A and B are shown apart, each in its own frame.
Chain A
Amino acid sequence: MMRAYRALRRRAVHPKGGSRDRDWVDPAIALGLVVGYVALLLSTVHDLGYARDEGFYFQAARSYEGWFELLFTHPDQAFTRAAVDRYWSANHEHPALMKALFALSHRFLHEKWRLFAEAGTSYRFPGMLISALGVGVTYLWARRLASRLAALVGGVSLAMMPQVFHHAHLACFDMPVAAMWLITSYAYHRALETGGVRWPLASGVLYGLLLDTKHNAWLFPPVLVAHLFLTRSRPLFTGTLRGRIAVPSALLSVAIVGPLVFYACWPWIWYDTGRRIAEWIAFHTGHEYYNMEFLGRTYWKPPMPLGYAWVMTLATVPLTTLALSAIGFGHDLVGAVRARELRTRSAPVFWTVSIFVSYAPWLSTKTPIFGGTKHWLTAYPFLCLFAAVGFERVACAVREELQRRFGHQPLRTALVEIAAALCVVVAPVAIALGAHPWGLAAYTPLVGGASGAATLGLNRTFWGYTTGAVQDFLNQRAPPRAAVYVHDTAMQSWEMMQADGRLRSDLRGTMNIHDSDFALYHHEPHMGRVEYQIWVAYGTSTPAHIGTYDGVPVVWVYERPRPR
């Protein structure tokens, strides 16, 4: 046990790469985290229904799969404009990487090799894997500044952030873009540390893939530029005066290689490139506002509440994680600012800028809030990196105190440190696992949990994934060929649940209440009008079944009374 403790407590790797440790240990731990997290996600996916947007991405992935089929059989035809337009026009308001991975995963892991029994899970697998890679890289990056135990705290804190845990299951882009942002940042920072060719090249390639994941990537270059000025302003200034601008090769790689990779990996923009990229940008900068409840009020147009991002972060991120992050931030960054040593604190500066840039859009009252916390998921890995550093400070204080009181007693110190680590991760684990599969209804004790959040008027769900929580009721109760009004579940998501055998195949999903026998209702305040339509059409306001999380109704089902 002492050997394991010493291995965990090994001091941080020297920033320049020198280490007394065997090189394989930390990668092995990171790999273990990745594999373990994927296993956890897979084991908890079966009662999580398919979100609305997942249905759209399933449909797009099926289309892209057709293109891959053409590529494998008739590659010369695959690159024609007609083929590209035919297969890649689906959902072209979002770039292609994740949907292409969904398609390939479905084709090989479900259709061909039957590794996944459920098609839906095969679509979800790439998102899970990339999310898990994010957890592993959090560990690796934290390890460069902290002990293994502290790095583990950082990785587990990210993995078990309740909303991260939820989004990591989905065939969507929100957790993947957060993971890719982190991974790209790590590669970029390694490039700054080591120079050479490998890491700068990787930075550019990864940035291209980040751009191909989701449009949050537009905010990434400002992070690099800001970091450069904060940590290298003097050499940049003096170099400029001497006629030499020392721009890091990694930054050049991001600027040059990144867009090339982005272009190569998104067939839709191979043709009519300028117009299609402009269309993509215009879609997201002019996105329609959807409804979102916040503190008992539904917002559907600006001005949006300035406190939204901060309050929702406090309400959904475990307080222990935030406290550790604050300690890490205070120790590393504030200390460096005071000592005017930002250059020597390059990584924490990078993390800080990433967090700030991720949240910055919500300094404007015009920024939409309809996506809830997923809007700034890109900040969370960096919060957890600070949490790792924060725990390292806690562990140091523990060692000093125990040394002072009891002298050199490594076993006692080991136990106390491990106990402290368990204390700081156990609440996130309990909240995340306890909230599954309710996901977005997970709120921390700071706001009184789910019931406190409901009383405060905070959003409980959107995207219709909670149909998974009432699937058993429908399967058991509905007569043959019953029509079910699907409400906020996309029809494509409903059909996937049937294809996977989660819902009976004879049940008929419908978008019409008046023709239905059962009606789902996914609650948000503005959706109330749908419920009232059900009341009048069915002649009853008594739900037949309610899915609750910690006693709070989230989704319910009405059954049309049948004539006696």
Chain B
Amino acid sequence: MPFGSFIMSTASKKGKRLLNKERTKAAILKVALHSFRSKGFDKTTTKEIAKRAGIGEGTLFNYFKTKEELALYFFEQEIEEAMKAYQQDRRIQKAPLAEQLFFVIHKQLEYLGPHEDFLSAILVQSVRPYSKLSPFSLESQQLLLCYLKFIRDILEAAAGRGEIPSLGEMGPHLFWFYYLFVLMYWLNDRSEHKEDSLAFLDRSLKVGVNIIRKIKTQGLWKW
């Protein structure tokens, strides 16, 4: 076999392995979420998850050592799905900032939608010390960095268009806090189709972007 095609072959085999690994992780997650919905996060064991997934517990541990790692993977998918949807939508990439941010948050909430009960259990986990789900854990911070970079790119693009002033490094963090607030609001929302949350998200983003814009216009912007 020529060396070049050996490299390509090795690379494509590696790529295939990675793809298969992702597919397996996604399949395990799907099964786990089903268990979390029916039994609750705390009462579901890794043994049960492995059994439902048709794999050995040892195999499961190769992918996820704990349920918390599964939960982290779930949030990783939440962010990836939102980012993918944004990157595939040419129209939204040219839309005004308020709509772009609405789109991103809504995609995240849409992903989380079927798993509200699971989320509530996760929140309880996240306040426990030493939990990987704690916002201060290295694992959570790594996930957050990816998200912050994505949001920073959107905000900087808006600044480049002159829509808002450049918000520097603080902008993405502020947006993250805002997202958490929206998430709390959404979790408490009992309206049909979560209409209250939709209206709140729409109005607050429009007002927020306009406030930032007006602050810039009035020369009060000092970041």
The answer to whether A and B interact is: no
